[in-house]
Structure 1
Amino acid sequence: MTDTIVETASAQVDAARASGHVPVVRTFFDEATFTATHVVHDPRTKRAAVIDSVQDFDQASGRTSHASADAVIAYVRETGLTVDWLLETHAHADHLSDAPYLHRALGGTLVIGREIRTVQGVFGKIFNEPESFARDGSQFDRLMDDGERFALGDIEATALHVPGHTPACLAYVIGDAVFVGDTLFMPDYGTARADFPGGDARTLFRSMRRLMQLPDATRAFLCHDYKAPNRDEFVWETTIGDEKAGNIHVHEGVGEDEFVAMREARDGTLDMPRLILPSIQVNIRAGNLPEPEDNGVSYLKLPLNLL
């Protein structure tokens, strides 16, 4: 079956490369959570997007801070950018989003995939959230669908639904670049886990194969890097062609059943992410903390013997 949405996104990549009008990407890497926050902008219009921001969080003290976001804000202001978009690839399980803080400082429309409603429903039950916790995605400014088009200045952009790691994962194709979230890692490291509530290894395989239909020259920017064995530096940029040729888990020639067997076996050996419980509670609220209680303090829950 022809995937007309990917065909459209591929044509967008080819057109951007042919014209030379491609986005500029500046990445801020948070080593504490191994997270890459990308600031992408149109060099002609200076219109920008911030993708997958990080809120600093000290779990031992329960204190939040904003040094990571402040570095992004400083860069945006020094470069003279106008932020139109705050894009989340999914509700992260390994770091807290700082989208509300960035919004107050820089503006922008906060976006996530429409299936965040599914994630809110699942984790609303896990955390026994009250009825006042909205499960309709209304904490975000805009919920995007598969194939939805938008623009970064004069550069065309397309959202691709790539579930499997979570039901709500979106990749954003902006000009000749794709921001894949946790769906793919560097070729020497492999692929995202698929064992969180709502995840599915078979769905993940199909999403990755979908991304690999983009042109080989498409620049691919990742949300995380953990340094593969025998590599000393963090890296967060590759190409779709390199993923197809060399991804150790899902290169061309790896079949769906083979991948699913590997991924499920590997996931069975992994510990839960260190920050999953605080992260999910904040990120399903679009980066906001839970409503303060009558003493003015926000609290995060720690479900025991459940996950």
Structure 2
Amino acid sequence: MPYVLDPTRGLSTTTPSHTAASTSGQTSSILLKRNVPPAEPWRRHISPDAATPTVFTFFEKATSTWQYIVVDPHTSDAVVIDPVLDYDASSGSITTQTADGLLSFIEHERLTVRRILETHAHADHLTAAQYLKQQLGQHIPVCIGQRITQVQKTFAPKYGFDDPSVFDNTFDCFFKDDEEFKLGQLCCRVMHLPGHTPDHVGYLIGKAVFTGDSIFNPDVGSARADFPGGNAEDLYASMQRLLSLPTAYRLFVGHDYPQDRDQTCWSTVEEQRERNKHLKLGTDAETFIKWRKERDAVLGAPKLLHPSLQVNIRAGKLPPKDAQGRVFFKIPITSEVDV
């Protein structure tokens, strides 16, 4: 039986007032009137040089996801990377507490968001990209790597997205490999980092790299590569590409799963070369690929797999309403019996 969302409400379910989009500048006046407190960053990584951004890092505990607000210190222009939309699978409710905290932080810091960046079509959390776009202004593009169209074609038939128009007005920008764009005075470069998923990209800005799930902290190692289009050989090559960067560069990861330590969002390339538990410097391709495939073969599916993909391949939009105005998440099944 599919999960049922409240059909009487839109994307935002915390209060009816959230359905109104902010179209004048970057002010989230709705949030200010409601006194939504700004999210408190886990760390404030102040820009170390003229080419590297200031990075505010936010850990979403329910899905162990790192969200980033990345700022050009010269202009206060910003991008938001991999924001989370709150979803309770047991009740089918979607709320915006996490995203509202980010919005309030943006307002209190007087930042101007220029883009919302996704590293890939996540299978373990719902993206808040579309909600942030509604609140910050419809002119702000939601961006992802160009191979998201491959992921959309793979999963559209699984969830009954048979009409191609369901992908209209979802993602606004499809980055090409090694494409560059500006964040204020900073230069940003898109890195295609496939393996975990085929569409996966990272963002290189000065000496900071936002890696998504292409590499994890050294004591966590690497992400699975068994999703459709995933590939352990490609993951090895992507991790090696990250390890080939200058040793002082910081790799900001998409998730963290700490054991016996506090969560952390980054490590240096040098630390990854020396200590990555799955692929440190000198690990040969055959050893890594064999281990990764064997490990993936015994992993269960992420608990939010189906809700996440149905939202994330549409840039954060919920599934289309049915004729009665209801919204459902669909769960594909296989069965050996016809009952």
Does 2:246 correspond to 1:246? no
The answer to whether the Cα contact below 8 Å between 2:119 and 2:211 also exists between their aligned partners in 1 is: yes
SS of residue paired to 2:309: helix
**Paired residue type of 1:49:** V
Partner of 2:328, secondary structure, is coil
Query: What is the CA distance between 1:37 and its match in structure 2?
Result: 0.5
Q: Could you tell me which of 197, 205, 210 is aligned with 2:241?
A: 210
Shift of 1:133: 4.6
CA 1:211–1:134: 2 relative to 1, 3 Å: farther
Q: Residue type matched to 1:234 in 2?
A: Q
Q: Which amino acid aligns with 2:242?
A: L
Distance in 1 of aligned mates of 2:87 and 2:245: 36
Alpha-carbon distance in 1 for matches of 2:53, 2:135: 23
1:21 Cα shift? 4.1
Instruction: Indicate yes or no: 2:60 matched with 1:37.
Output: no
Do the aligned residues in 1 keep the contact of 2:51 with 2:187 (CA within 8 Å)?
no
In structure 2, the gaps of 5 or more residues are 1-46
Q: Distance in 2 between matches of 1:59 and 1:101?
A: 19
Distance 2:210 2:51 in 1: 17
Please state if 1:55 is matched with 2:85.
yes
* Cα separation, 2, equivalents of 1:240 and 1:138: 37
CA distance in 1, matches of 2:108, 2:291: 46
TM-score by length of 1: 0.90
Alignment root-mean-square deviation, CA: 1.5
Residue 163, structure 1, aligned to residue 185, structure 2:
no
CA distance in 2, matches of 1:274, 1:182: 17
Of the three residues 118, 123, 126, the one matched with 1:96 is 126
Give the TM-score taking structure 2 as reference length. 0.82
- Paired position in structure 1 for 2:256: 225
| Higher mean displacement: 151-160 or 238-247 | 238-247
Distance 1:226 1:94 in 2: 13
For residues 219-262 of structure 1, give each alpha carbon's deviation from its aligned partner in whole angstroms, at most 9, with x where no partner exists: 111110011x4x22111111112111110101011011110001
The reply on whether 1:120 has 2:149 as its aligned counterpart is no
**Per-residue Cα deviation, 1:127-183 (whole angstroms, up to 9, x for no partner):** 232224556x86211000111000111011000001110000000001210000001
1:13 maps to: none
Match of 2:97 among 61, 67, 70: 67
State the distance in 2 between where 1:92 and 1:260 align.
22
Secondary structure, counterpart of 1:160 in structure 2: strand
Partners in 2 of 1:138 and 1:173 — Cα distance?
A: 27
- Structure 2 contact 195–236 (Cα < 8 Å) conserved: yes
Match of 2:109 among 79, 85, 89: 79
1:183 to 195, 198, 214: 214
Specify which of 167, 176, 195 is matched with residue 145 of structure 1: 176
SS at match of 2:190: strand
Equivalents in 2 of 1:292, 1:238: separation in Å? 43
Aligned residues with identical type, % of pairs: 41
Shift of 1:298: 1.3
Query: Over alpha carbons, which structure has the higher Rg?
Result: 2
Instruction: State which drifts further: 199-208 or 137-146.
Output: 137-146
* Corresponding position of 1:281: 310
1:58 and 1:66 map into 2 onto residues whose CA distance is 11
- Residues 82 and 106, structure 1, Cα contact 8 Å, conserved in 2: no
Q: 2:297 aligns with which of 257, 261, 268?
A: 268
Give CA deviations for 1:263-305 in whole Å, capped at 9, x if unaligned.
0111112111010010001000110001111221211101113
Kept in 2, the 8 Å contact 1:290–1:300? The answer is yes
Q: For 2:231, which of 187, 200, 208 is the aligned residue?
A: 200
After superposition, give the CA deviation of every residue in 1:178-202 in whole Å (9 maximum; x if it has no partner).
0000011100110010001110000
Amino acid at match of 1:159: V
Partner of 2:330: 301
Count of matched residue positions in the alignment of Structure 1 and Structure 2: 287
Paired residue for 1:12? none
Q: Aligned AA for 2:142?
A: L
Deviation at 1:78, TM superposition (A): 0.6
Which letter does structure 1 place at the counterpart of 2:147?
Answer: E
Q: Secondary structure at the match of 2:156?
A: helix
